[in-house]
Amino acid sequence: MNGARYIVDILCENGVDVVFGYPGATVLSIYDELHKNKKRIRHIRTAHEQGAAHAADAYARASGKTGVVIATSGPGATNLVTGIANAYMDSVPMVVITGNVDQHLIGTDSFQEVDIVGITMSVTKYNCVVHSIDELGHSLRNAFIIAQSGRKGPVLVDVPRDVLESCLSLKSIKKMEAEFDYYHPPESREDCCEHELDRAVQMLTESRNPVILVGGGVKAHRTSHVTDDIKQLAKILDCAICSSLMAVDSIEYDYPYYAGFCGISGNEAANRALDEADLIIAIGTRFSNRMIKSRSEQEVLHSGYTKVLHIDRDRAEINKVIASDCFLVGDAEQILPALIARYREKMEAEDITSGVAVPAITYNMYKRDEILTALSEKVGTDAYIVTDVGNHQMWIARNYPFMQSGRFITSGGLGTMGFGLGAAIGTVTHAKDKPVVLIIGDGGFTMSCHELATIKAYNLPVLVIMVNNGKLGMVYDLQAQKCRGRFSQTVVKRKPLYCNLARSFGMKAYKATCLETFNKAVQQYMDTKKATFIDLCMDIYGRNE
Amino acid sequence: MIKTISILVENKAGMLVRVTNLFSRRGYNIESLAVGITEKSEISRITVIVDTDERILDQIVHQLMKLVGVIKVKVLDDDAIITRELVLIKVKADSTCRNEIIQIAEIFRARIIDLCPDSLTIELTGQYDKTNALLSMIEKFGIIEVARTGKVSLSRGTDSINT
């Protein structure tokens, strides 16, 4: 057995049944083994490595499993970098396997050689070069453990060609398995929440106007325990729940205590709740500067009026952006029930009744959006909604009626334009028969439209809705505000014939200029479950709150 | 404030880069850095001196803890710490001033480890202030070059990073 075959075996051992990637000279042996092992692992070849990285990322977001992406050395590896950084910013578990040149060529600036470990060091949770075949098992197995443990993230394993092609005896495989040294996540060294619980409960009882702020971390588990507890806590405290962009879908849109997502582009109700609160109970969020709406809001947080109770499993997030008055480090799945139980004990001891069936005031100010309501009615609550980055993304986050956690696939931290098509490919690979809708701007679409080739090649039933305003909307808006209307490079003067482009990749394509034509096109997709493209030329941005 | 951080890491290729990369990526300034193996050959100790505030210090510690390969991170207590740095100073010295330099070196308990007709090399182990004081005393003779190891520290008494 050679190293390449051993990689395939370890992938299978880790429950991997689909990988994304692009072949090349240094990973020739891996692709040879993938060819021989087609029945065990499905491989999706994208049009560009970046698309493969986004696909693996979105596959992981949709499935909860570890996304796997393979690329060759040099440009193959560097093309992955944006995708890896995207996964890192949003804490998505991913294992990246790159080929590298033969070891005797490393460091000599040989053909298609880059130091991908050096390049990706600050955008991976861990990365390494496999220097000998005897290290391969250890490195790759631990990559899966590291990617999924604690706060999740991408891990890159760089394997030189000669290691991939060297032979392994059964004896050395046995030895590798026997001596495997499990990686223990450092987070487990510091689960110190127990003695802090009382202080947290004290803060809850003292607060007159608390708010719960949930972040992407609450979606890390595939169960609903955490969100159930969050809803319960909101009921007990009679307070609003706000979310970060990453967690928009973690609570049903119509839940009476849910005020939507907060931040620069967020829902007004959520921002107001956050502004007025005297206690922010932050759960699994890292206080992105996009979420802390304005400078003045930051100042409010530092003024001492608003107290912060921070719950996160990554100790380094505590006090990084916002100083907290109390923090609980660990898994919300364990912390929240303990916190709720202790709060109830205290309230009962002091003979105070807590908890209300209906909120005292209207927290949920959800505004129906005509187009998105129509879309959601047609595709159903089961559908995955993937977005690219820009105004359309904020439109979806504010107005799409999400009913299930984990159905919103979006690029949060890195804000990667061009994420959408790759992400839709990854999502549909997991979603099987459930609808997958990509909403993408014309800018992001143009940036990544080569991935239509992948949709065609694998006959992937994706509904692509391209919001076509002929602008790079988000930057255009910034220029309107800050550049006195000098719209530098943000207006598309001569538009391509997008529908024709989509048709040339075998998609059904429709131009929608009114709700009726839009509905018809969506219905076509639902009826046929074939790759469909909608060029949506409607003024959607005038409708926002 | 000046703080000394002791970091135990797996003695593997690339570990030092991971640690220093974290400092530069997050914009933490390193005043001094020294690295070497510990009593266990598979573990290295990195001693980093930083000039920072409480909040950033807390960040540095917990960001370091997240690195795969970092075993232990400890901020040493300033009141119970021994810190040393080794410095080699090559200074111009002909027969007219050689004796004066040697006398100065003796007062600082430094050793002369190399001598030639026109220069000599002083080895000094000590704390930062002492090194600076010696340097300022012999500056006038003409310093040819200086090499410093960076500071290494241990806590006093039986306490260790492992306790």
Q: Which of residues 105-134 of B touch A (CB under 8 A)?
A: none
| pLDDT of A357 | 66
In chain A, whose CA is at the least distance from the CA of B70?
Answer: A186
Q: What are the tens digits of pLDDT across the range B2-20?
A: 999 999 999 998 999 999 9
The CATH T-level fold of domain A370-543 is Rossmann fold (3.40.50)
CATH superfamily of domain region A3-184: Thiamin diphosphate (ThDP)-binding fold, Pyr/PP domains (3.40.50.970)
What's the pLDDT at A373? 96
Neighbours of A221 (CB within 10 A): 15
Say whether B14 and A128 touch across the interface (CB within 8 A). yes
Q: Is residue A189 less than 8 Å (CB to CB) from chain B?
A: yes
| CA distances, A272 to each of A230, A268, A269, B129 (Å) | 20, 6, 5, 55
Assess whether the region A189-349 and the region A370-543 belong to the same CATH fold.
yes
Of A121, A314, A320, which has the smallest distance from its Cβ to B18's Cβ?
A121
Task: Write the DSSP symbol of residue B76.
Answer: P
List the beta bridge partners of residue B32: B49
Average pLDDT over residues B36-63: 95
Judge whether A106 and A160 are in contact, CB under 8 Å: yes
Residue B87: beta bridge partners? B124, B148
Q: What is the DSSP string of A439-504?
A: EEEHHHHHHHGGGHHHHHHTT--EEEEEE--SB-HHHHHHHHHHSTT--TT-B-SS---HHHHHHH
Cβ atoms of A344 and A361 within 8 Å: the answer is no
d(CA B111, CA B89): 10
Q: How many C-alpha atoms does A465 have within 13 Å on its Cβ side?
A: 31
- The pLDDT score that the predictor gives to residue A541 is 64
Residue A133 near residue B30, CB atoms below 8 Å: no
For B68, which of A126, A315, A318 is closest by C-beta distance?
Answer: A126
Whether A117 contacts chain B with CB within 8 A? yes
Residue A222 amino acid letter: R
Give, in order, the Cα–Cα distances in Å from A130 to each of A97, A255, A351, B41, B67. 11, 49, 62, 21, 18
Q: Whole-angstrom Cα distance, residue A3 to residue A183?
A: 22
Residues (pLDDT < 50) of chain A are 188-189, 543-545
Could you tell me if A214 and A250 are in contact, meaning their C-beta atoms sit under 8 angstroms apart? yes
Give the residue extent of every domain in chain A: 3-184, 189-349, 370-543
Q: What is the value of ipTM here, to two decimals?
A: 0.90
Q: Write down the pTM of the prediction.
A: 0.94
The architecture (CATH level 2) of A189-349 comes to 3-Layer(aba) Sandwich (3.40)
- Using a CB-CB cut-off of 8 Å, the residues of chain A touching B67 are 186
CB atoms under 10 Å from CB of A372, counted, come to 19
Q: 10 Å Cβ neighbour count for A496? A: 12
CA distance linking residue A72 with residue A101, whole number of Å:
9
> Are A214 and A241 in contact, with CB atoms under 8 Å apart?
yes
User: Residue B60 burial (CB < 10 Å; 0-12/13-18/19+)?
Assistant: buried
Residues of A in contact with B58 (CB under 8 A): 319
- Cβ of A125 under 8 Å from any chain B Cβ? yes
Q: What residues contact A76, with CB distance under 8 A and at least 6 apart?
A: A22, A24, A27, A49, A98, A99, A112
Give the CA radius of gyration of chain B.
19
**Terminal CA-CA length for chain A:** 61
In terms of CA atoms, which chain B residue is nearest residue A153? B66
- Tell me if A247 sits within 8 A of A91, measured CB to CB: no
- Contact between residue A460 and residue A454 where contact means Cβ atoms under 8 Å apart: yes
pLDDT reported for residue A172: 84
Q: What is the pLDDT of residues A19-50, one digit of tens each?
A: 999 999 999 999 999 999 999 999 999 999 99
> What pLDDT is recorded for position A545?
33
User: How far is the C-alpha of A187 from the C-alpha of B27, rounded, in Å?
Assistant: 23
Q: Which of A319, A324, A325, A329 to mutate to test the interface with B (most CBs of B within 10 A)?
A: A319
In this structure, what token pair is assigned to residue B147? 């090499």
pLDDT digits (tens, 9 = 90+) for B54-94: 999 999 999 999 999 999 999 998 889 999 999 999 999 99
Q: What pLDDT shows up at residue A468?
A: 94
Mutation for A interface: B7, B66, B67, B71, most A CBs within 10 A: B66
Say what the pLDDT of residue A544 is.
39
List the A532-536 sheet strands across, edge first: A408-409, A384-387, A436-441, A462-467, A532-536, A508-512
Q: Which residue in this structure is represented by tokens 């005797």?
A: A104
Three-state DSSP class for residue A145: helix
Give the whole-angstrom CA distance, residue A95 versus residue A225.
Answer: 27
Cβ-defined contact of B21 to A121 (cutoff 8 Å): yes
Structure tokens given for B133 = 């004081």
Please report the domains of chain B, with CATH numbers, ordered by start residue: 2-75 (3.30.70.260), 82-152 (3.30.70.1150)
Q: Given an 8 Å threshold on Cβ–Cβ distance, is B59 in contact with A319?
A: yes
pLDDT tens-digit readout, A119-176? 999 999 999 999 999 999 999 999 999 999 989 999 999 999 999 999 988 888 888 8
pLDDT at A361 (0 to 100):
83
pLDDT of residue A303: 67
CA distance A389 to A423: 12
Residue contacts between A and B (CB atoms, under 8 Å)? 36
The CA distance from A285 to A318, in Å, is: 10
Q: Are strands A532-536 and A462-467 parallel, antiparallel or unpaired?
A: parallel
- Judge contact between A366 and A342, C-beta under 8 A: no
Gap from B150 CA to chain A (nearest CA, Å) = 25
The Cα–Cα gap between A415 and A447 comes to 14
- Is residue A216 within 8 Å of residue A244, measured between CB atoms? yes
